[in-house]
Amino acid sequence: MRLRRAGALLVLALLVVALVLIVSGVGTGASTHSSSNARVARAPSAAPPREHPRHHPNALANDPVGAITRVLSYTPYISLGSHRRREIALTFDDGPSPYTPQILSVLERNHVPATFFEIGRSVGLYPAYTRRLARAGEVIGDHTETHPPLAALSPASQQNELREAANAITHAGAPAPHLFRPPYGSFNQDTLGLLHQDRLLMVLWSVDTSDYLRPAPAKIAYVALSGARPGAVILMHDGGGDRSHTVAALPRIIARLRERGYRLVTVPQLLHDDPPPHGQPPPTPLSGV
């Protein structure tokens, strides 16, 4: 009887041990699975954060006037960037003209974008050149209808100069301009008020190549390169006279700037990447004559 009872207890003990082992095995498996799930759940946090849209290389293409609008919120003009990036904007005034396609060809061969400030009267003479610039992705700004020194005009006359040129540019098939360059660097408070009203950013310059005087191509290149620095805005011309020397100088300017590690950009791209600093002094007229 005692042996039978001891055998029964032994069997019962073995059953209890087996049950414990089974339960422990299930628990261990569940814990391992849970731990694996935890690692999967945490994996995304270890990945690098998504690039902020304003640092995306195509951000400007998706918002062409956004950079201009942001800069206009704190200053009415730009003549130079903030020097944070090795970028330079090449700009051309007084076109379009028969030299505009030649300059565009140099830019396209070298994969360089630029900004053109066009005279409305010239756009009326060569609308196809304006369309070609726009289709090539170049930026086109307002340079008045007849190229007068604005400071010598009444506010009403200044407004006509601005709006007639803008109309000529859009009628030629280009986007409405959001940038403006005053002929001869001449402007006054009335000009600034009109620009504010029409949401136009005034673009001055930091380097004047004086190519309108038709110096030798080597001289034009020398002046452009001498003034090169991060954020520079270089002034040249594609209209207003014989610009063959500018055409000849342009490949050298592009090559030397690239050798120095500069990236050549449009004015809106410069505003996007290297905007002018806050707290700039009020703009002062410049002489381009």
Per residue in 242-279, pLDDT (tens digit) is 999 999 999 999 999 999 999 999 999 999 999 999 99
Give the per-residue pLDDT at 60: 57
142 annotated active-site? no
**CB-based contact 224:248 (threshold 8 Å):** no
Q: Which amino acid is at 49?
A: P
Q: The whole model's pTM is what?
A: 0.79
238 annotated active-site? no
Give the per-residue pLDDT at 37: 35
Instruction: Give the domain ranges of the chain.
Output: 1-36, 65-273
| pLDDT-above-70 percentage for the chain | 77
Assign 3-class secondary structure to 150-213: HHHCCHHHHHHHHHHHHHHHHHCCCCCCCEECCHHHCCCHHHHHHHHHHCCEEECCCEECCHHH
**The pLDDT of residue 289 is above 70:** no
Active-site residue, selected from the candidate residues 93, 94, 211, 238: 93
Confidence of residue 78 (pLDDT cuts 50, 70, 90): very high
Mean pLDDT for the chain overall = 85
**The pLDDT of residue 56 is above 80:** no
Q: Which CATH architecture has domain 65-273?
A: Alpha-Beta Barrel (3.20)
Q: Which is more confidently placed, 3 or 145?
A: 145
Give the per-residue pLDDT at 99: 98
Integer Cα distance of 241 and 133 in angstroms: 19
| Model pLDDT for residues 104-147, shown as the tens digit of each residue | 999 999 999 999 999 999 999 999 999 999 999 999 999 999 99
- pLDDT (average), residues 218-235: 98
Give the per-residue pLDDT at 200: 98
**The pLDDT of residue 58 is above 60:** no
**The pLDDT of residue 42 is above 50:** no
Confidence of residue 286 (pLDDT cuts 50, 70, 90): confident
Active-site residue, selected from the candidate residues 147, 237, 245, 272: 237
Give the per-residue pLDDT at 184: 97
